């Protein structure tokens, strides 16, 4: 995109509205996600749900809106997200087993 701007070429019509969409999304989702991040250190069910928000959200996105434009990139993206979610869940289970106050 930067090359297009430097060359003086026209931007596509959909790009003009994209910054507005991301701005609205950041305003709407920024506060709630900040609260979830703050709650992640809490013990108990609230903290557990807060810590699981990102891996579960990423896994849901892989089902609803897979990454990439071709099959290879899609497989790589899905593999990375699913592996990351499994590692985070494994770490959470391990942490809960070692914690005597759960």
- The pLDDT of residue 22: 81
- The pLDDT of residue 16: 62
Mean pLDDT by 10 residues, the chain (102 residues): 62 64 88 91 87 84 78 85 85 79 56
For the question of whether the overall pTM of this predicted structure is more than 0.75, the answer is: no
- The pLDDT of residue 10: 61
Other C-beta atoms lying within 10 Å of the C-beta of residue 65 = 7
Domain extents for the chain?
A: 13-98
- The pLDDT of residue 1: 57
């Amino acid at each position: 995109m930067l090359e297009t701007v430097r060359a003086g070429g026209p931007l596509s019509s959909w790009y003009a509205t994209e910054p507005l969409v991301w701005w609205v999304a950041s305003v709407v989702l920024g506060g709630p996600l900040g609260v979830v991040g703050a709650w992640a250190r809490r013990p108990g069910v609230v903290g557990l749900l807060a810590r699981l928000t990102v891996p579960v959200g990423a896994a849901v996105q892989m089902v609803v809106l897979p990454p990439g434009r071709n099959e290879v990139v899609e497989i790589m993206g899905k593999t990375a997200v699913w592996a990351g979610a499994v590692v985070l869940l494994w770490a959470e289970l391990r942490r809960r087993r070692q914690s005597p106050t759960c």
